[in-house]
Structure 1
Amino acid sequence: MDEFWVFGYGSLMWNPGFPFEERIQARLMGYRRSLCVRSWVHRGTEERPGLVLGLDRGGSCRGVAFKVPLSDQDETLDYLRERELVTHVYLERLLPLKLDDGRIVKAVTYVVDRAHAQYGGAVTVSEAARIVNAAVGQSGPNPVYVANTVAHLREMGIHDHWLESVVAEIAKLEGVGVEEAL
């Protein structure tokens, strides 16, 4: 491999935690950003799981591609595996991305394992909002995670209409405006 790329679609986009030479927005085809992972630790508990992002089959996902120096490839992979594969709900894949400048590259990407016990499947906007609104884990309240994700996506000019609808529904449940929820 003469280049090493990593694709981020959630917190990895604004908090990669590894060195990179290039950062560019990209689109992954065949997968979509989804609140499809039941969080039993960071944003919920086993008794009251929250929902966190995963890449699930279908559609496409706008995110960020990072070109990592080849000299940092092994260390970056070790870091990513420790960060992303804690409960093995994600599968590491090398998938093609279309960068915003038109280039096609292959990038390390973490997609949800639909056979894993933490896979939450497809939920409606109202189901997602209800689950998220009631969950708190070691890393804090689940609604903060979702609102923070939407705020960061907006800052990058990425609009995820489904996720924004979840935040709007959470705001209704909490009796606040959407901007207050963000």
Structure 2
Amino acid sequence: MTYIVFGYGSLIFKPPPHVISEVHGFLKGYVRRFAQKSHDHRGTPEKPGRVVTLIHKEEWAAFSGSDAFPDEDIVWGIAYTIDPAFEKEVRGYLDYREKDGYTLEAVDVWGVESNGQETIVLHGVHCYVGRNDNPSFIGSEPLDALAHKIWESVGPSGPNKEYLYNLVEAVRKLAPESHDSHLYALEKRLRELDCLSDLGS
């Protein structure tokens, strides 16, 4: 079978190698939240940053005490088809890249036809999900505390806030009309922290 992987976080702005085609689409039944600790890319074991994961909507209610946003957010992303000649190499690369608590799941990717009708465009696509029972899952945090954690955290892959800014920019390009209140509210808070920092320097 063709190896296709869906990116909803850093894979959107930093795609895997050996991609031969891509499909822009969205998921149903999930929310995208900064609910996963990052010990290895955007933080350290001592000071973990925060990165996005997917949570099933029906499960999010159990973790969303600090998240006052409605669940209408749409998880847009990109499904990448990998060159079969490099499938083993890319699988190994992604397993290592997503090793901090992520598990492979199969998801259906949706698209919108020219008449506005929503339809499934890809079935059973591979997707790395930080399930709520993995050690790095942190669940919901108060927005201001979460924003500050992202703003101050740095890891081997760079500043945590760079991850958020890149993701927001990529999602806006993918679907300018998309509703993603969590991402945009965090971006607003981080921009405010940047301004305060500039004033204080």
Interval of TM-score (by shorter of Structure 1 and Structure 2): 0.7 to 0.9
Contact 1:99-1:105 within 8 A present in 2 as well: no
**Number of the residue aligned with 1:179:** none
| CA distances 1:156-181 after superposition (whole Å, capped 9, x unpaired) | 235432111101011222326xxxxx
Change (3 A) 1:28 1:143: same
Letter of the 2:25 counterpart:
A
Q: Which of 163, 166, 170 in structure 1 is aligned with 2:183?
A: 163
Query: RMSD of the TM alignment (CA)?
Result: 2.1
Q: Normalising by structure 1, what TM-score?
A: 0.83
Give the superposition deviation at 1:100: 4.3
In 1: Cα distance, 2:75 partner to 2:126 partner? 15
Give the superposition deviation at 1:119: 0.8
Q: Is the partner of 1:44 in helix, strand or coil?
A: coil
**Number of the residue aligned with 2:167:** 149
The answer to whether 1:83 aligns with 2:101 is no
In 2: Cα distance, 1:70 partner to 1:100 partner? 28
In 2: Cα distance, 1:108 partner to 1:152 partner? 20
**Number of the residue aligned with 1:125:** 143
What are structure 2's unaligned runs of at least 5 residues? 58-70, 114-118, 197-201
Change (3 A) 1:175 1:14: closer
In 2: Cα distance, 1:31 partner to 1:113 partner? 12
Q: Is the partner of 2:28 in helix, strand or coil?
A: strand
Bigger Cα displacement from structure 2, 15-24 vs 164-173: 15-24
In 2: Cα distance, 1:14 partner to 1:148 partner? 7
Letter of the 1:90 counterpart:
Y
In 2: Cα distance, 1:57 partner to 1:123 partner? 17
| CA distances 1:55-99 after superposition (whole Å, capped 9, x unpaired) | 2222652111122344433332222212212x3x11111222224
The answer to whether 1:95 aligns with 2:94 is no
Query: Which structure ranks higher in relative contact order (CA pairs < 8 Å, sequence separation ≥ 6)?
Result: 2
Letter of the 1:169 counterpart:
R
Change (3 A) 1:90 1:116: same
Number of aligned residue pairs: give it. Answer: 173
Contact 2:35-2:139 within 8 A present in 1 as well: yes
In 1: Cα distance, 2:107 partner to 2:51 partner? 21
In 1: Cα distance, 2:77 partner to 2:188 partner? 22
Contact 1:33-1:55 within 8 A present in 2 as well: yes
State, as a whole percentage, how many aligned pairs show the same letter.
28
Change (3 A) 1:134 1:157: same
